[in-house]
A and B are shown apart, each in its own frame.
Chain A
Amino acid sequence: MTTTTAGVIFVLSLIGALVAVHRPFGDHLFRAVSGTRPSRLERGLYRLVGVNPVAEQSWGVYARSVLAFSAVSILFLYAFQRVQQHLWLSLGLPAVPPHGAWNTAVSFVTNTNWQSYSGESTMGHLVQMAGLAVQNFVSAAVGIAVAVALVRGFARSRTGELGNFWVDLTRIVLRILLPVAVLGGLALMIGGAVQNLSGGTEVSTLTGGTQTITGGPVASQEVIKELGTNGGGFYNVNSAHPFENPTSWTNWLEIFLILVIPFSLPRVFGRMVGQNRQGYAIAAVMAILALASVALTNVFELAGHGTVPQAVGAAMEGKEVRFDVSNSATFAAATTLTSTGAVNSFHDSFTSLGGMMTMLNMMLGEVAPGGVGSGLYGLLILAVITVFVAGLMVGRTPEYLGKKIGSREIRFASLYFLITPALVLVGTAAAFASGNNSTALNVGPHGLSEVLYAFTSASNNNGSAFAGITVNTTWWDTALGLCMLLGRFLPIIFVLALAGSLARQAPAPASEGTLPTHRPLFVGMVVGVTVVLVALTFLPALALGPLAEGL
């Protein structure tokens, strides 16, 4: 079997698995977020937290709960890193410096998991498992909760109530994330992922050198890092590390874990609005964009254009033998199509066009299928914009799922869309204007790509890195921290405001003038609007970076 054939079967098997699982898993998710009786454990948790589980919240209260939880999390995580040297399992590592601790705290709470530090030489085991990995769970749950609140906005009418954030958070963690994490963590341990509290074992190698075989609670963190589309690796080299991703089948499993929740959420959407076909239409948009991207990334990487890949004979720099070119390309596409940002190979050393695909994936706004929750709400915003654009073009009433898209709704949707491009382009320009681009390893177009990638990754809460850039300076830590913070919470506020506005409306009965939003025509239009909006926004920047280098 050739490498290409094996790579194609690899992708097909992932598609098959996702198609098989998205329905039952989506139904399970649906049950978890719709109000069935709380379990005994859940009732206990509500009492401990001090919330009334039956009290519903307006969009404002829901948003304030999200913000309060995230603010407390950032402060806690910051303090945790600053005092780690006094804590159990610190492995003798010193306190994380203030700008690094701020950046990392924001990074993990915003589900970005951008890492300006090297895991094995910065973070003790306790900070990793009780600080960072906890945020891997709860920041993912926050994303799903916000998406569910938006869908409630479509599904409900004449009400100000969008659910209860604390209940959503608890149920998503306990019923979805934790059980899958336990099973997936065990599977990774069987594959060889490390799970202990050891500070490392020193061994004497065959030729008489010494090597420290590192330890740590890796498997438990690795699984939620993929499942929650977080991406922050236990080690510096992330999922390229044999202790995080030991074999070719764990590699397959990790890609599956990355994609399973984002591709199951459209099913939840369909069931919540009472029309499964609406969910299928959203899933179709995601699938079309994702397939095109996976295919192109593979084509570019396997073709291996560029001077060094031609000299080598394959784009093997920064890739592992056990994954080779194709499985690395597929992982790279999956991790940037979602908001994961884990890497099993180094995007900086990809071919120019292959590297551009990873950037383009993030610039799409991470909606195909996107991060857990954020992918669904991002795509629903794009659907709202599409309905509006279509309405303008043919003179139909802009409405989606029986809700009118008036000036208030379209204002929230437009603001949502504008935030990330503004952060990316202003941030990149600021880096060059202030001379901070000089920490990039490469110069010329590749240097621009590295800076552009960093801001794209931070503002979209992806967290993957082109990596050939030193970012643990005060300027970079601060600037990227701000991008992550604003790129996460401003969109969430607009999404919840939109949800509140939709929920208040009375349903408009479908008429002759209503555009059906479950047909292939609409799917094609959403794909088109997404691609056109992204192309108009980012093409000039891409032309100066990867396109200039690759053509």
Chain B
Amino acid sequence: MRLPTWLAHHLAALRALLVFTVLLGLAYPLALVAVGRLPGLANRADGSLVRAGGTPVGSALIGQAFTDADGHPVPRYFQSRPSAAGDGYDPTATAASNLGPESVVDTIATDPAQSTPSLLTQVCARSRAVGELDGVDGRRPYCTADGVGAVLAVFRADGLTGRITRVVSVNQAAPATPFLSTYRGVPVVPAEPGVDYVAAGGIVTPIRGDAPAEPAVPADAVTASGSGLDPHISPAYAEIQVARVARERGADPTAIRRLVEQHTSGRSLGFLGEPAVNVLALNLALDERFPAR
């Protein structure tokens, strides 16, 4: 019996798929798994586990949060970057924030649990917190002194044009005092929870302010990474943490700084990537060399 052609095609297709599934879906990956058992490769193939006193404490490639149970930074450790993976550095829920470059208006709900901060406010709040923790200037452009995005909704008589009728500081709800008292002669009022000023026709106007163009708190300290698991911080972010860590451990800042340098990797081959400090490796070395008092 001869099969109809259309059926013959599909039978060949099914057989081809099964053959390739065995070859490419089982033989190939399992062969690489087997190669990964070879000494020298096994640790890497298993996730580059790092041990302290024999027990694994993490992976050399995966960042960790050095915070206490309440999420506050533990000051004797160098701190990692902000993370959007789960509750922070959760490898089972990797994620980025996905907030855009003009995410500047917070949603302030009447129930604070329903409020969501814009990316700008998150950046400002992190900058202020890092500044306080490490004793540096936490001010940034487009940020208020109380650590939210400095953004106004400007209402004009004829929509986009005309005289200014009302100005609201959208990210500051009462009782906060607006970061500007007046805008072009019009008094600035704080936001009321639950009101969407953008939908009401307010023109979103971020205010640059007088913060230095190069803030003391580096860029990586106030932004979440792509993976949420970034194991590195920039040498600049490590540098502003040196004084605090030295103080907490009763150590000489120069010695701490030397340890940071030892855990800083330059660009591979001199031009690939950026210099970076592996935070877990650095903190492990700290615990070994300068145990906390």
Contact = CB atoms under 8 A, between A and B. Distances in A.
On whether the two chains bind one another, the answer is yes
Contacts of A76: 14, 17, 21
Of A204, A243, A322, A468, most B-chain CB atoms within 10 Å: A322
Contacts of A185: 32
A130 B100 contact: no
A307 interface: yes
Given A121-B93, A186-B32, A311-B141, A246 B47 contact: no
Query: 4 closest pairs, A vs B, by CB?
Result: A248-B273, A130-B25, A240-B226, A306-B101
A129 interface: yes
A346 B58 contact: no
Contacts of B268: 247-249
Contacts of A308: 99-104, 119-120, 123, 142
Contacts, number: 384
Contacts of A324: 273-274
A508 interface: no
B74 interface: yes
A211 B62 contact: yes
Contacts of A280: none
Given A211-B90, A215-B47, A306-B102, A65 B29 contact: no
B227 interface: yes
A441 interface: yes
B215 interface: yes
Interface in B56-92: 56-62, 64-69, 74, 77, 81, 85, 89-92
A312 B269 CA distance: 29
A40 B271 CA distance: 45
B229 interface: yes
A317 B119 contact: yes
Interface residues of B, number: 111
Contacts of B230: 242, 320-322
Contacts of A10: 271-272
A5 B227 CA distance: 26
Given A50-B15, A236-B94, A311 B283 contact: no
B64 to A, nearest CB: 5
Contacts of B95: 118, 236-237
A49 B9 CA distance: 10
A315 B101 contact: yes
B25 A251 contact: no
Interface string B255-279: 0000000000001111111101000
B193 interface: no
Interface of B: 6, 9-17, 19-21, 23-26, 28-33, 35-36, 41, 44-49, 52, 55-62, 64-69, 74, 77, 81, 85, 89-104, 119-120, 123-124, 140-143, 149, 198, 206, 208, 213-215, 218-220, 222-234, 267-274, 276, 280, 283-284, 287
A191 B273 CA distance: 14
A114 to B, nearest CB: 15
A1 B32 contact: no
Contacts of A138: 17, 20, 24
Contacts of B224: 317-318
A198 B178 CA distance: 54
16 contacts: A6-B271, A65-B9, A69-B13, A76-B17, A118-B93, A120-B93, A130-B21, A178-B23, A189-B44, A203-B56, A204-B55, A307-B101, A314-B219, A317-B123, A348-B98, A442-B99
A307 to B, nearest CB: 5
Nearest to B42: A196
Contacts of A343: 226
B226 A319 contact: yes
A453 B222 CA distance: 27
A311 B64 contact: no
A166 B55 contact: no
A192 interface: yes
Given A134-B25, A314-B219, A346 B226 contact: yes
B270 A317 contact: no
